[in-house]
Amino acid sequence: MNFAFDDETEDMREAVERFARRELGGAPPRDGVPDREEFRRRWQLAGKQGLVGSVVPERYGGSGLDAVAAAAVMEAFGYGCPDTGFAFSVAAHLFAALVPVVEFGTEEQKRRWLPALCSGERIAAHAITEPEAGSDTLGLRTRAVRDGDHYVLEGVKAFTTNAPVADVFVVQAATAPGGGFFGLTAFVVEAGTPGLTVGPPYEKVGLRGSPTADVRLDGCVVPATAVLGAEGAGAGVFAGSMKWERTCLFAAYLGAMRRVLESTVAYAGRREQFGVPIGDFQAVSHRVVDMTLAVESARLVLYKAAWQLARGREDQVAPALAKLAVSEAAVRVGLDAVQLHGALGVLGGEAETLLRDALPARIFSGTNEIQRNNVARALGLGGSRRGAGRR
């Protein structure tokens, strides 16, 4: 067992932390909707740094990182960038949209889409969630009907990360309604395709630096060459991307938690009550220790999942546990940081920002309840419940 990164990965971590602090500093937008031009400017900077294409093979413009190195880079990104929403958008682009193209795309699709998506010139979004189908991904109502050498897409997608700024969409639709695992198909659809429209950006409680909106498909015609993988392979495409997302995306939260933990320790050391620093009180110091334990425990679980993913191990439990451990730890650390900052904790600052950004983490990438279902089923429990753990 070796808990240290190799020299190359450590150098990348340090470079990303410096870059994020220097170029991506500043709090997330307070009104919940990031400025489009500023978002693009920061995105292009992240592209030049290699962040938006880190796991894509070098021949397509990426850096070719494995899952461990990618998680290390995302952790450094989350630590250096105070806008966790922006880091979340980068991770969603990379792990939910680019990874499916890398793993399932044809050579023509890879050469057409990946270079610009890796450079920061273009942005990708993964459209799967619907108003009536969140965790029940096999119950999608969006339809794709074959018409000669084209497909016609009809439906509405909700909560689509990056939708307001996306140039490319990976869209999941049912080609065989009621067909179960083999009833879904993934498509690569360019923004501006007639019939594809994006709604206004959401104003969210957390992850405000990540632009999110609905996507409507109204007679959207795409060529058969837009199919990702093969017809009926959509569920497999989605499952593959979720292994990466539930592992590497959540590494950004590790960095954010470490940043807030450090600032909370510093605050406890200088804030005085009754003539002594509040860190001298056992109730405070023990809470800080518990925060540290939560962060370190979650970190170990996540990097174990990344280690297995880097070695090609087909394990659905490790990513589910990583997602559970990190998201639950982020909420707890956020709550504790707010408590230790007292009245200042409910004003604008790192503590309350982490808490707001952590709340969605228990929902996206499959709710934590679904992750528990998945793990329970892997342990031989709950398998008799119809539809349990579909996502």
Contact between residue 261 and residue 333 where contact means Cβ atoms under 8 Å apart: yes
Is 121 assigned a catalytic role?
no
Report how far residue 189's alpha carbon sits from residue 101's, in angstroms, rounded to the nearest whole number. Answer: 12
Contact between residue 12 and residue 73 where contact means Cβ atoms under 8 Å apart: yes
Can you read off the two tokens belonging to residue 74?
Answer: 């995302």
Three-state SS at 353: helix
- 78, with CB counted inside 10 A (0-12, 13-18, 19+), is buried
Instruction: Pinpoint the alpha helices (H) of the chain.
Output: 7-23, 36-48, 67-80, 84-91, 99-104, 107-119, 234-244, 251-270, 282-310, 317-341, 350-358, 368-378
Can you read off the two tokens belonging to residue 313?
Answer: 């191990």
Contact between residue 305 and residue 322 where contact means Cβ atoms under 8 Å apart: yes
Report how far residue 84's alpha carbon sits from residue 29's, in angstroms, rounded to the nearest whole number. Answer: 11
Please count the other Cβ atoms lying within 10 Å of the Cβ belonging to residue 3.
7
Alpha-carbon torsion (103, 105, 111, 117), positive or negative: negative
Closest CA to 61 of 14, 98, 10, 11: 98
Contact between residue 64 and residue 240 where contact means Cβ atoms under 8 Å apart: no
Q: Which long-range contacts (CB under 8 A, 24 or more apart) does 387-390 make?
A: 387/136, 390/135, 390/136, 390/137, 390/138
Residue in 17, 245, 350, 352 annotated catalytic: 245
Please count the other Cβ atoms lying within 10 Å of the Cβ belonging to residue 15.
15
Locus of tokens 């996502």 = 391
Closest CA to 228 of 310, 140, 112: 112
Catalytic site positions: 245
